Amino acid sequence: MDTSFSQVAWLIPLFPFVAFLLLLAFGRGQRTLGVLLGSISSFAGLVLSILVLIEHMSDGTKYYQYSFKWLDFDGLTMNAGYEVTNLTALMLVVVTLVSFLVNVYSAGYMKGDERISVFYSYVALFSFSMLGLVLADNMLTLYIFWELVGVCSFLLVGFWFSKPEAKAAAKKAFIVTRIGDAGLLLGILLLYWYMPDHALDFVHIGNVFDGQTGIIAASVTTWIAILIFVGAVGKSGQFPLHVWLPDAMEGPTPISALIHAATMVAAGVYLVARTFDIFQASQTAMDVVAYIGGFTAIFAATIGVAQNDIKRILAYSTVSQLGYMMMALGLGSMTGGIFHLFTHAFFKALLFLGAGSVIHAVHTQNIQEMGGLSAKMKITTWTFGIGTLALSGIPPFSGFWSKDMILNTALHEKPVLFAVGVAAAFFTAFYMSRLFFLVFMGKPKGEQHAHESPASMTIPLIILAVLAAASGFIQTPWNNTLGTWLTDGAEKEHGGAGIVMVISAAVGLLGLYLGWLVFVKGTIARDAISSRAPWLVRLLERKYYMDEIYEALLVRPLRGLGYLLNAIDEYIVDGLVQLVSGTAVWFGRGGTRVQNGQIQTYGVVTVLGLIVLLVALVGRRFW
């Protein structure tokens, strides 16, 4: 074969881009065009991605890279290009698959929204940007698409723009991720000036940092890694920049599944994986990544326990799982991070789409107002149940394998993080069982006319459920397929996984059982904790007061400074100028007053002048 599929990988982002342009031009007032174009383009992308992935799995043309000079003048050459590695091939499939399913799902979910074609154009633009981000062969190109996915996320979060909450959430999402982006930008600036030949592409970065040949000083390496990680923190909702992600749930639910669960928020993890050589060159940076990840995992999981909005619970769960991924990367296991990204994309997209199906049926997001839906929504219940089990880490569902791998690594590298991970796993299982039992079990509350969603919504659910159940088998403790394939065999599986498997499965089951006891059986009263330690529940409900802290520490001082400077600008900066011009005017006024047409005044002035003159003349003699 002369041309491999990898060589035409640039077509994959092009499909949704064409769809976006067409929708932009002809989308007005169209209702079905969006569904059609969105689904077709993402399906085409999916097919091509799968072909690329197959090609990469069959050891033929392993790698392809192409770039052209994008910005070029004396003293600066910036390339733009794409490259297909095993990692990108895998990500391409994840993105196009979820994107395709979400496109299909939205046909049902967004039916009846008058701006459906706008919605599809945004989704298409997002798919384009996300695929561009995945394919990018250098930091600058990646950064460009990185920002573009951010803006698409912003647009889609604020899709229902009339709602004040949506507006606020969109703004927050953009600004908070922008803080991370500023860090990433600085990282790129550093990288540019310290890399030999100012090369920014991943191949060179890998070569330079790989052997740690001392080309770049250790402190600079640490700085670069940490700044890149700041970008990842913003995008992937890691502590302390996680605050935007739960609020972003104001967007349509399919978007939450696509952007805020499966693809864009994972871009941070992907970025760290892409530049993994830089991180590995600096132990400090690795530790930072690991501890931030671990902390985020437990931090968000505990918040998830006390939330009542179905989507917010899932959002905190996403934050927590992203923390797992970061932790894995920080512990040196790229395979673990990417593996969890891979499985998480399926089961979390599944959970969100399932949640969407529930919301579609009952028109509320508060789980306290739901109940007993299992009778009316069989498919949703079953698929959601599979998602819950996968997320809770119950064998043999996919989440178990990936979580197990991370915990196993943690046990070998940093036992503290192992404990954190196990605790987070317990909380995860608990809040998921709480969610599941409150929504699907018990007596129906509120909306009585709930019914199963249309086929366009349930079929994606079924496909995702299959993947969520089975996708974990590509990497098991006995079978290091993914690790070998991703890292060229550089990463070895840690041995002695048996005990970890037992612990993680046990913890997951314990969490589920506890949830069952509390919310179905009623053995333990629901207010067992809230009656004894109301402050604790309150603390969790208010998300550890993070929003209030930001308000007090950043927003208010900034606004105060703004008002202060505004006053200074108006009264001091402009006031000085007014003073200067005022003095001139005052002199002029004084002058006119003397010119009053009365001889006597003139006479006085003359005499005064004479006296001054005389005094000056006489006084000079005595000087």
Footprint on this chain of other proteins (rule: CB under 8 A)? 70-76, 143-145, 147-148, 151, 158, 161-162, 164, 166-167, 170-171, 174-175, 178-179, 181-182, 185-186, 189-190, 192-193, 558-559, 561-563, 565-566, 569, 573-574, 576-577, 581, 595-600, 603-604, 607
Query: Nearest approach, Cβ of 124 to other proteins (angstroms)?
Result: 15
**Cα separation, 477 vs 405, whole angstroms:** 7
Q: Which of residues 75 and 619 has its CB atom nearest to other proteins in the complex?
A: 75
CB 142 within 8 A of CB 78: no
Query: Nearest approach, Cβ of 405 to other proteins (angstroms)?
Result: 35
* CB neighbour list of residue 531: distance below 8 Å, 6 or more residues apart: 525
Structural Rg of the chain based on CA atoms: 31
DSSP 8-state secondary structure symbol assigned to residue 199: -
CB environment 357-386: b (16+ within 10 A), e (fewer): bbbbbbebbebeebbbbbebbebbbbbbeb
Q: Which of residues 121 and 480 has its CB atom nearest to other proteins in the complex?
A: 121
Q: Which of residues 117 and 307 has its CB atom nearest to other proteins in the complex?
A: 117
Query: Nearest approach, Cβ of 47 to other proteins (angstroms)?
Result: 27
Q: Which of residues 187 and 254 has its CB atom nearest to other proteins in the complex?
A: 187
**Cα separation, 351 vs 334, whole angstroms:** 25
DSSP 8-state secondary structure symbol assigned to residue 519: I
Q: Which of residues 416 and 608 has its CB atom nearest to other proteins in the complex?
A: 608
Query: Nearest approach, Cβ of 193 to other proteins (angstroms)?
Result: 6
Query: Nearest approach, Cβ of 552 to other proteins (angstroms)?
Result: 17
Torsion angle (degrees, nearest 10) of CA 421, 422, 426, 428 = 20
Query: Nearest approach, Cβ of 275 to other proteins (angstroms)?
Result: 18
Q: Is the dihedral of CA 194, 198, 200, 201 positive or negative?
A: negative
Q: Which of residues 479 and 581 has its CB atom nearest to other proteins in the complex?
A: 581
Strand residue runs (E) in 300-416: none
Query: Nearest approach, Cβ of 167 to other proteins (angstroms)?
Result: 4
Q: Which of residues 166 and 432 has its CB atom nearest to other proteins in the complex?
A: 166
What tokens does 34 get? 């969006």
Query: Nearest approach, Cβ of 164 to other proteins (angstroms)?
Result: 6
Q: Which of residues 122 and 426 has its CB atom nearest to other proteins in the complex?
A: 122
For the range 148-152, what are the long-range contacts, defined as Cβ-Cβ under 8 Å and sequence gap of 24 or more? 149/259, 149/263, 149/264, 149/267, 150/174, 150/177, 150/178, 150/181, 150/235, 150/264, 152/122, 152/125, 152/126, 152/259, 152/264
Q: Which of residues 36 and 144 has its CB atom nearest to other proteins in the complex?
A: 144
Q: Is the dihedral of CA 482, 484, 485, 488 positive or negative?
A: positive
Instruction: Residue 231: name the closest of 262, 286, 270, 196 by CA.
Output: 270
